[in-house]
A = this chain, B = another copy of it.
């Protein structure tokens, strides 16, 4: 709905937008304040004092998002309307360039006994090097009419992508989810001919895979799950008339950015190299997604001090961003990851919008408590993109 509207109303201008995304930004107060409140962030605080702050719900109030749907919401795509399944995210996570029509699934290397019964669903958690070597073996499998891509992940995990005409993700898992059972034969979950054809292709692939792996005990089998196909998303170019670039250090975020049409830049490995990248490419794009991963990783580890440290580290770089004079800087997270919970959470995410058009509010710092007094209120995350476009003068009036 909002995308149809934005497609009508958006126009190309010279103004530039930067989304500075701290993964897992929202936190909980454990007595002394949240990580964002405890961190010394004078530069973000200045932006908050000059701008508008508030909260965003990635999906809906109370719903904890995974990174995929949360990022779609950030980029303005309703995360319930546009779903990215597990198989696709796995493929993106290993840096695979997924294309429309591809069908992806997650793979576990597993152990089967002489009777074909699964004895270990994770093949004793084989080392990643073994996984890489076995994926190379699986790549030798060629099937008629489809390309097969096999990508190692960590330990016993890998991703498989099938590419060809008329494939469907509506195929059941082959993982029996317990030991002592045979792997499940892949079946179409609908009577759609594409699903039936895909199930047959998967069955052929598995047949060949079991042959190829038969002497590789404990990894003498594979189990597949989370089949899904990828339908192309409308791009940010089409909808927003933007020329967008992604600056991120982790494959999955680069992958999601590519799905919505961003050019993925070489961002190095640290926030500092990410800001170097931003400066280097400043003149080439008009939208930059800058992703800071570690706020989430430390949140998942329950490492409050780690979160504080990353926030301070990035805050010190913020003057370099301000010096580039973007028309709108939007700072937020894709979701909350409070360190006391050691997990993604349902809490709405703090948002800061800095722009000459931002309506000033009483908030003088960037933190969860200050955001409660903010001028933005609490909005669905999918509207942050329209707000950023509006604050950069990139949207025409609706109606006369």
Contact = CB atoms under 8 A, between A and B. Distances in A.
A5 B60 contact: yes
Interface string A376-388: 1111100101111
A62 B373 contact: no
A397 B344 contact: yes
Contacts of A212: none
A359 B28 contact: yes
A357 B369 contact: no
A68 interface: yes
B373 A61 contact: no
Interface stretch (A128-136, A280-288, A360-368): A360-368
Interface stretch (A82-90, A140-148, A308-316): A82-90
Contacts of A361: 369, 372
Contacts of A100: none
Nearest to A63: B398
Nearest to A386: B62
B369 A372 contact: no
A352 B246 CA distance: 40
Contact of A390 (B62, B397, B400): B62
A65 B359 contact: no
B359 A398 contact: no
A80 interface: yes
Interface residues of A, number: 62
B345 A89 contact: no
Copies in the complex: 2
Contact of A387 (B59, B61, B67, B388): B61
Contact of A373 (B9, B80, B373): B373
A79 interface: yes
Contact of A378 (B67, B68, B89, B378): B378
B344 A399 contact: no
Interface in A30-83: 54-55, 59-70, 79-80, 83
Interface of A: 1-2, 5, 9, 28-29, 54-55, 59-70, 79-80, 83-84, 86, 89, 341, 344-348, 357, 359-362, 368-369, 372-380, 383, 385-391, 395-400
Given A59-B398, A64-B396, A359-B368, 12 more contacts: A29-B359, A61-B380, A61-B383, A63-B386, A66-B399, A67-B399, A68-B400, A84-B399, A345-B357, A346-B395, A347-B359, A373-B373
The 10 A-B residue pairs with the shortest CB-CB distance, nearest first, are A62-B386, A377-B378, A66-B399, A62-B390, A69-B399, A61-B383, A346-B390, A62-B387, A66-B400, A64-B397
28 contacts: A2-B60, A5-B59, A28-B359, A28-B360, A54-B377, A55-B377, A61-B380, A62-B383, A62-B385, A62-B390, A62-B395, A63-B386, A65-B399, A66-B397, A66-B398, A69-B398, A70-B399, A79-B399, A84-B399, A86-B400, A89-B400, A341-B357, A346-B387, A362-B369, A368-B375, A372-B374, A373-B373, A378-B378
